[in-house]
Structures are given as structure tokens and as C-alpha cells.
Amino acid sequence: MPTVPLPIQIEDEKDWNALAKAQGVQGVSIYQLTKYESASKIGDAQYLALRALWKRNKKGLLKPCDWGLQGVETARQKLSELTHWKPFIEAVPLHVPVDEILPITHDLGEFKLIWYYGQLIRGAPSAPDNEDNLAFTPISKRTRSRTWQPDYQALLETPTRPCKTNLQCSLTEMSLENAQAQGLEITPSTIFSPATPEDDVDQDPDYDGSARDVFPPVSDENVVNTYLVGFASLLTLSAPGISAHWSQERKGYKVSDKQGTKLYEARTDGHLFLSNGKESKAIVEVKAMVREDSSRVMMQETAEMAAWIHAEPDEISISTPKNTRFRRLLFSENRHEIYLIIADYDADYVDYLTNPGRESDCQSFLTMNEFGPWDIASAEDVEDIASIIRAVTLQFSKGRSLT
């Protein structure tokens, strides 16, 4: 029987204290650990030192206004103004065998490519999820300091003029720009499949593959990434007032000690950034498998969030009220299911992550509030998550925070 993932074991501060004590990290900061993993997997001690509490909620429990998410209902109404939105939503529940998908002759407009990738994800040829975005530096290399089924054939056989979609052009341009920025060699194979570091889930003692027969992993994680980032981009490319971009850039966030030596680096699968700035407004993480099949995904997302806070800290001044809560967003797609994680923390937690020389013990926690899943095969779910994505993109474009 697989071990219950560590984040799920920690329901409150009492649970954290008990586990931290057992691991010998109670009162020990992220800068004071005596050992770091040499590979790309975050260990229990490192995870506990990040002081995270996970709150898992069904999607129906999300009340946007309670979390500072503005204009979600307005964004929902605006979706109907998107060209081909109605035929796309009507086609979302279709499940077409992979060998019958092409040619796609129905007029879905720019949403054709998104629908196509959604079918590839749901078709899911079996293969392991080999992607990991965390790299810890060994201690020897650092200075120590501290589900309706209509007639899909009739739909697909509706004649229309074939055309190259603007989305294809947009995604290609974004990928080329990202590759050039990272100094990668531009080849046809890297346009939609940028090279990523890998690990082996078969070597993970906590890996649970019990759901593989029901939801086998997607053969290429980049298909999932292209779906999510491409969908987010398409929802916002032509929206008035938008000045934020969804990118597949594997942006790295480093956590370093006071000497500047890297403790660990986290690379996300994408992020949202403003036209006039380089800082991330939301981050993206994707997995080829369903969430229950990867016991480490929550630990990884926590480490990514903490690294992001460390690298791009919130603006805090003497006049900032002590009870101010800060929030950040992480959109996570695990195979065909999308989750929204809202990170919630205070100024003391920011200081904990950004002040290696801090002498007082931290009493604050990073709370990861998970909502979902939204199923990409459900028209209702797709409309719901699309409304959220469009709303937050506009909100950040206007310079409005989540607090």
C-alpha cells in the first residue's frame, strides 16, 4: 500500500510540528539544513523546512471574491464574444480515437489546435512521467551557513476551408523567442517540445501507479503544457485591456544563502508576465499523469512557490500592516485535470525565505490552497476555468494584486 504523501499528512501546524520534530528540522530554517539531495527530487527534510500547509478543496468551493480574484463572472460573459467559442465548447465533450482525429474538418477556428491537443491528452498512449523541475545543490558544493457522447464523425466531417490558425503562429513565435532567450538551438523538434530535465518515477518509492490503467500518462508532457499555456493565451490574445503574456518559458527561480551560493533552483513549465516587466504574475506546472499517481507533485509545487517568493519577493515596507496577507497563483494541469493553487502567506514568511541571517524562529506558514479539478473533457469545467484564467490575466494587466 503506497505511503500517504507527506503534504497530505500535514493538516495543521500540530501535524507539521510533529513531523518536523521527527525529521530533526523543528526550529531549523531552509538555510540551516545539514543535507541536500544531490539529484532533482526534494526530500522530506527540505519540504518541511519550507513550512507549508496544504488545504485541498473541490472546485465548487472556490469563491473568487474571497481570494481577491476579480471580474470572473464578467469574464465568463465575454467568452461568448470569442469567435468559434460556441462550436469549441460544443466539441469539448467529444472523445475521438486518436487514429480518427485527423483530418479535423469542422470549423473550430483558432480553437482547433487546443481541441486537438485535448484529444491527444485524453487518448494518452501509456508512458511514464519523467519530468521534474527541481534541482537541489549538494552540501559539498555550497558553503554551509545556516464524461454525453454525440456523433463525432458527423461533427468532424462538416466541410470547411482548411487554414493555419493564428494560435499556431502565436505559439510558434513564443517558443522561438523563449528558445533564443535561453540560447537553445532552434530545430523543428524544439518548437513545441523544448528539452527538459528528467527523472525516473520507477525509482520513486512513493510512486503510486494504481490509476495507470484508468488514466494512463500522456506520452509527452509537453502536449499537456502546450494545451494549458496555449488555451490561456488564446483566451486573452484579443481581449481589450490585456497586457500580460502566457509563456512556456521554463523560468528558473533560485534560492541562495547569504554568500549567494545556490541551495536549490526550481524551474516551472510556464508563467504569466506583464509586457513591461520580467517578474512572474502566475506560474504553471504540468504533469503527464493524474495527480493521485504522483505523490511528489505537491512537494514540487511547494518548492517552486517558495523559490518564486524568494527570487521575486513581495514589496513590504515599514507601513505594511502586520496582518497583511499575500497571495500568488499556480495553475497546474495533471493529464486532463486542471487545478488552481492559491498560495497564502504573510510578511514574516517572506522574511523567513529571503533573510538567511535571520536569528528568530519563524512562526508563519505558507498555505497552499488547492481547488479542482476542472476536467478538460467537460464543457462546464472548461468554461469555468477559462473564466478564471481570463479574469486574472486582465486583473494583473491592470496592476491589481490579489490582496
- 214-261: per-residue pLDDT in tens? 666 666 789 999 999 999 999 999 999 999 999 999 999 999 888 888
Structural element, H or E, at residue 33: none
* Strand locations in 241-279 (E): 244-247, 252-256, 262-267, 270-274
CA distance 273 to 356: 28
Mean pLDDT rounded to a whole number for the chain? 82
Looking at residue 62, its pLDDT comes to: 98
Write down the pLDDT at residue 163: 42
Q: Read off the pLDDT of each residue in 364-371 and give the average, rounded to a whole number.
A: 98
Q: What is the pLDDT at residue 89?
A: 98
What is the predicted pLDDT for the residue at 232? 98
pLDDT higher than 60, residue 198? no
Q: Pick the range with the lowest mean pLDDT from 136-145, 146-155, 357-366, 379-388.
A: 146-155
The confidence score (pLDDT) of residue 137 equals: 55
Mean pLDDT of 209-216: 55
CB atoms within 10 A of CB 99: 7
Lowest mean pLDDT among 73-82, 91-100, 290-299, 348-357: 290-299
Q: Which of 305, 304, 296, 313 is nearest to 266 (CA)?
A: 304
Say which residues have a Cβ less than 8 Å from residue 315's Cβ, sequence separation at least 6: none
Q: Would you state the pLDDT for residue 262? A: 87
Q: What is the dihedral of CA 300, 303, 305, 310, to 10 degrees?
A: -160
Residue type, 298: M
C-beta neighbour count of 254 within 10 angstroms: 17
**Cis previous bond, 103, omega within 30:** yes
Which range scores top for mean pLDDT: 139-153, 223-237, 311-325?
A: 223-237
Q: In this structure, what DSSP letter does residue 268 have?
A: -
229 versus 318: the higher-pLDDT residue is 229
Distance CA 278, CA 273 (A): 6
Q: In what order do the strands lie in the sheet with 337-346?
A: 52-57, 366-375, 337-346, 325-334, 280-287, 270-274, 244-247
Angle at CA 266, nearest 5°, toward 235 and 194?
55
Predicted local confidence at residue 159, as pLDDT: 40
Phi, psi of 71 (to 5 degrees): 70, 25
Residue 373, preceding peptide bond in cis (omega within 30° of 0):
yes
Q: Are 378 and 168 in contact (CB under 8 A)?
A: no
Q: Which residues partner with 369 through β-bridges?
A: 55, 342
User: What string of DSSP letters covers 53-93?
Assistant: EEEEE-GGG--GGGGT---HHHHHHHHTTSTTHHHHHHHTT
pTM: 0.81
Q: Report residue 130's pLDDT band, with 50, 70 and 90 as the boundaries.
A: low
- As a whole number, mean pLDDT of residues 67-89 equals 96
Percentage, residues of the chain above pLDDT 70: 74
- Where is average pLDDT lowest: 41-45, 305-309, 348-352? 41-45
pLDDT reported for residue 319: 85
Which alpha helices (H) appear in 151-296, and where do they start and end? 152-156, 166-181, 188-191, 221-236
Check if the beta carbon of residue 376 is closer than 8 Å to that of residue 337. Answer: yes
Task: Look up residue 100 and give its three cell numbers.
Answer: 480518427
Q: Is the pLDDT of residue 292 over 70?
A: yes
pLDDT higher at 36 or 227: 227
Cell numbers found for residue 150: 454525440
pLDDT at residue 134, rounded to an integer: 66
Which of 47-56, 72-81, 84-93, 317-326 is least confident?
Answer: 317-326
Whether the per-residue pLDDT at 195 is higher than 90: the answer is no
Give the model's pLDDT for residue 193.
36
Residue 263's pLDDT is what?
Answer: 87
More confident residue, 200 or 345: 345
Q: Categorize the per-residue pLDDT at 191 as very low, low, confident or very high, splitting at 50, 70 and 90.
A: very low
**Reduced to 3 states, what is the DSSP secondary structure of residue 135?**
strand
Q: Please give the average per-residue pLDDT across 357-367, as a whole number.
A: 91
Q: By percentage, how much of the chain surpasses pLDDT 90?
A: 59
CA torsion sign, 312 to 20 to 291 to 191?
Answer: positive
Q: Give the cell for residue 72.
A: 470572473
